[in-house]
A and B are shown apart, each in its own frame.
Chain A
Amino acid sequence: MIPVLLILIPLVTGLVGFLIKSEGNARGWSLLSSIVTLIVALWGLSLAPTSPMLAANVEWLPDLGSRFAVGLDGLSKILVLLTAVCFPLIFVATWRDQYKKAWNFYALMLLSQAGLIGVFVATDALLFYFFWELALIPVYFLCSQWGGERRIQATFKFFIYTFVGSLLMLVGIIWLYWQTPNHSFSMESFYALRSKLSGADQTWVFWLLFLAFAIKMPIWPLHTWQPETYEQSPTATTMVLSAIMVKMGVFGVIRWLVPVVPVGSWAWGDTVSGACIIGMVYASLVAIKQDDLKRLIAYSSIAHVGLMCLAIFATTESGLQGVMIQMFNHGINILGMWIVVDLIERQFGTRKISELGGLAQKAPALAILLVVVALANVALPLTNAFVGEFLLFSGVFTSTATQYSVVFTVVAGLTIILGAVYTLNMIQRVFYGNTNSLTEKGVDIKMNEKVVLAAIVVLIIVVGVYPKPVLAMTKETAEFLLGKMNYKL
């Protein structure tokens, strides 16, 4: 019941939102809707894992063997929570952004939320695919309509990239469907396939599905759509893209790929891990050289997501738990970074690091909050990312699925240092040093922005100091998935 509500609330309010022809009302309406969604999500989280309220399963397409089946387990809970937390924060943080025909903008944002939550709660492969595409369409319109100068080309590239991936995934899903003995799309029947499919079949199906997820994450060398799209999208949409949407790829791998074709995943695990490693180092190096704040964060996101993907293929419990927690943490942290970028851009009209400087003198509150977010971005102890990255690294290091675990750990560890270089460098050049003619007139942030950034900082520190509830939420799922991921037939 709760997952259905979580999809329906943003969906219905989004559709209604098209009819509210006033900017202020539309903004309030969408904030209200996202807060209601958050409350429902928290209610769902407070229920016992066995509660019948957490699942729904009704007939949808009996001829196709597909059901409208949704459910909340540890993995989906954490991502639903992320989605539900991020949207109100995004709405409040971008409260002062101006949009042409804002009601359409907010309605599309809510629709994308419905799609995202649908992806995370679906336990039927066809339904999952359905939502996977649905989340993309509103984002396509958001970016193409309200984005920057080169928005149409950038978004189009993004759309074609992901569409190719998802179509290949569709072929993979259909093929798997015909292999299930009872012709069903349900998660259980897909998980039961692992012992039925031959190793050769698993290896090629693996690529059909993995390409879609790799494009979404994105994994090098399929990442080329990302910096451009992030740069050209309106900031509120970039937040959705980077905080939540890239998690769709990671989520897809954990839920629909590795447990379904464990042998295929194991066989190609080293290849994928190699690509992740290359991508992490490459993205970190590129990030150091960036002058545009948005591009810098985009590349840093590639590096962080690469680490998560690496840990999945390590097939260890701490790695898997780390991925789930880090998905949440990364979403929160990068949201904080985007909010800061948005604030800077709105005030000074530029995102060029070289044109800024000395902001800390003019906006002390902003500087303090940013430093905490930035420290979380480099995974300093006591921040949430430390917990996540520690688990990730220990997972990769102790992995028995690959013989290169030490190499992977060392090279991936390098990116922590590189991450510190570009993050601290950025803070230094934007916030410290002398003010110039542009930043001279700077003022500190307003109340709503303070509230949002403070909320993010609180989340960062709470999860960093006391991660136990989050760990408890994911533990059972991690164990369950690990059992499915056992590559020994």
Chain B
Amino acid sequence: MNAILLSAIWGIVMMFSGIFTKSKKAVRYTAIVGLVALLVANCADMIGYHVEIDVHKMLNYDEFGMLGNAIAFASTLLLVLVSGKDMERVGHNLAEYFALIFFVLCGVAIVTSFNTLLMLFLGIEIISIPLYILTGADKRNLKSNEAALKYFLMGSFSTGVMLLGIALLYGASQNGTFFIDDLWTGGPAVATRPMFMAGLLLLLVSMGFKVSAAPFHFWTPDVYDGAPTVFTSFMATIVKVSIFIGFVRLFEDGFGESQDRWQIFVAIITAATLFIGNITAVFQQSVKRMLAYSSIAQAGFMLLALLALNTVSRQGMLLYAAVYGVATIGIFAVLIRMKDYTFEGFNGLARKQPVLAATLTIFLLSLAGIPLTGGFFAKYYMLAAVVESGHFMWLVIFAVLCAAVSVYYYFRVIQAMYFKDGEGTTETEPGAGFKGMLVVLAALVVVLGVWPQVLLGLLAKFPYTW
């Protein structure tokens, strides 16, 4: 509860901070303080210090959601620390951007701990609407406007689909309920109703849209490309993985018992996402678009957790969220500073900016899943989860082949930076603070790669009592 309250309140604080001060620095520091407070409040919640509000069981705080929150907040904090200054360059309304980000985080906190379909819907909407605005934040840029409109139209359509799904599930359930753990009451008799299955699939489609799973991914490249890069980074990491955590929660608590009925659909979506994401990324000329497709490909890997739904997959989901988030934030942070977003723009960067190139290499290796980086264990967990479930070995093998394809486009950047000659450079000389933050991010990736226990151990350490 702490996180939901604090993020909503701080969102309003941020909104008004724009009135009281014109100093961008002050606004940024207010946001950082807010994020730290949010993180602390969430951690306090994990060890039992929380505001008691009776929510009539509409929200369910467990470690999974809490850790998901913690990862989302920590990633946002890192994003603001490393790219906060670049946010100032998007437009004049810095305070409003931060306010919107805090509202998104409020939605995140709801999505990670919902217990009824209504709360899920509310959470998803609270996330989506600020994002439509953030996408169009670069007001004078046509591409940004186009992206925002596109995102809004497609997003509202998927919201409609989601509502229809929720309504069908409500009708199909025995006593008419929105509570996800009651949906199953009545046993297989309920699950065999066509209405139940239809509702489930509609929810799968709309959630798939939000995490940009194929074939509902078509908005992703345009929106990610058009949105100001700082906010693309925010969308591709924090928002995406939090929705994934909600996705897993929905299917585990709500539809866990009917797993064998829907598993094949998830498997097909996963295979399609992996295939389309990876293959299309190969043909991109712009690193930013490549990252958009790579985020689709990574979503394909995260979908494996949804397919397996066991302890391993839940732990893996959290690890994946953290690792993927940190690495992607790092890559985007460097990308924002680049003069030229194409692959050629990175030619010879290692000579001019050795620190940037070295850290970027670590982030890319992590996304490719090379050992010694966190990405390896993230991928490992996803694969292990499906192998443990015992089915869909073909999908596991397909997934690793796709991961091998991903090496192609991630390494293209490394090749450009180190092995090709060119004038690739940043727009302005990056400061020591920026470089320091990148090194911190890279160190985080490596620590998670050598000893992921630091994060996973937390799962066992913080028992949360309802």
Contacts and interface: CB of A to CB of B under 8 A. Distances in A.
Contacts of B401: 164, 167
A404 interface: no
5 contacts: A63-B457, A64-B384, A137-B372, A159-B411, A175-B387
Contact of A137 (B370, B388, B404, B453): B370
A62 B388 contact: no
A253 B451 CA distance: 28
Contacts of B419: 144-145, 151-152
Given A62-B453, A130-B372, A167-B404, A174 B380 contact: yes
B456 A171 contact: no
Given A144-B415, A144-B418, A167 B387 contact: no
Contacts of B457: 63
Contact of A167 (B403, B408, B415): B403
Given A137-B370, A137-B372, A144-B419, 5 more contacts: A130-B372, A145-B418, A164-B400, A174-B380, A178-B387
Closest 6 CB pairs of A and B: A167-B400, A133-B371, A164-B404, A130-B371, A174-B387, A144-B419
A170 B388 CA distance: 14
A159 B407 contact: yes
B380 A170 contact: yes
Interface of A is mostly: helix
Contacts of A134: 371-372
Contacts of B451: 60-61
Contact of B365 (A137, A144, A178): A137
Interface in B437-459: 451-453, 456-457
A170 B397 CA distance: 10
A156 interface: yes
A198 to B, nearest CB: 14
A177 B419 CA distance: 39
B128 interface: no
Contacts of B383: 170-171, 174
Interface string B385-412: 0011010010011001101100110010
A63 to B, nearest CB: 5
A151 B415 CA distance: 11
A141 interface: yes
Interface in A275-293: none
Nearest to A141: B418
A133 B370 contact: yes
Contacts of B393: 171, 175
Nearest to A59: B453
Given A133-B370, A145-B419, A63 B453 contact: yes
A129 interface: yes
Interface string B59-86: 0000000000000000000000000000
Interface residues of B, number: 31
A141 B388 CA distance: 35
Contacts of A141: 418
Contacts of A451: none
B347 interface: no
A170 B400 contact: yes
Nearest to A164: B404
Interface in A139-194: 141, 144-145, 151-152, 156, 159-160, 163-164, 167-168, 170-171, 174-175, 177-178
B8 to A, nearest CB: 35
A176 to B, nearest CB: 10
Given A129-B371, A160-B408, A63 B315 contact: yes
Interface of B: 315, 365, 370-372, 376, 380, 383-384, 387-388, 390, 393, 396-397, 400-401, 403-404, 407-408, 411, 415, 418-420, 451-453, 456-457
Interface of A: 60-64, 129-130, 133-134, 137, 141, 144-145, 151-152, 156, 159-160, 163-164, 167-168, 170-171, 174-175, 177-178, 208
A171 B371 contact: no
Nearest to A177: B384
Given A61-B452, A62-B453, A144-B418, A156 B411 contact: yes
A232 to B, nearest CB: 12
Given A61-B452, A144-B418, A160 B407 contact: yes
B446 to A, nearest CB: 12
Contacts of A175: 387, 393
A171 B400 contact: yes
B437 to A, nearest CB: 21
Nearest to A153: B415
A167 B404 CA distance: 8
A63 B456 contact: yes
B381 to A, nearest CB: 9
B329 to A, nearest CB: 23
Contacts of A151: 419
B278 to A, nearest CB: 13
A129 to B, nearest CB: 7
B327 to A, nearest CB: 16
Contacts of A63: 315, 453, 456-457
Contacts of A130: 371-372, 376
A228 to B, nearest CB: 16
A183 to B, nearest CB: 9
A163 B388 contact: no
Contacts of A61: 451-453
Nearest to B420: A152
Contact of B388 (A156, A164, A178): A178
A61 B453 CA distance: 6
B400 A160 contact: no
Between A64, A134, A137, A152, the greatest number of chain B beta carbons within 10 A of the residue's beta carbon is seen for: A64
Contacts of B407: 159-160, 163
A60 B407 CA distance: 27
A174 B400 contact: no
Between A63, A129, A152, the greatest number of chain B beta carbons within 10 A of the residue's beta carbon is seen for: A63
Contacts of B371: 129-130, 133-134
A60 B452 CA distance: 10
Contacts of B403: 167
A174 B390 CA distance: 11
Contacts of A160: 404, 407-408
B384 A174 contact: yes
B453 A168 contact: no
Contacts of B365: 137
A133 B379 CA distance: 14
Contacts of B411: 156, 159
A161 to B, nearest CB: 9
A117 B397 CA distance: 29
A46 to B, nearest CB: 32
Nearest to B384: A174
Nearest to B386: A174
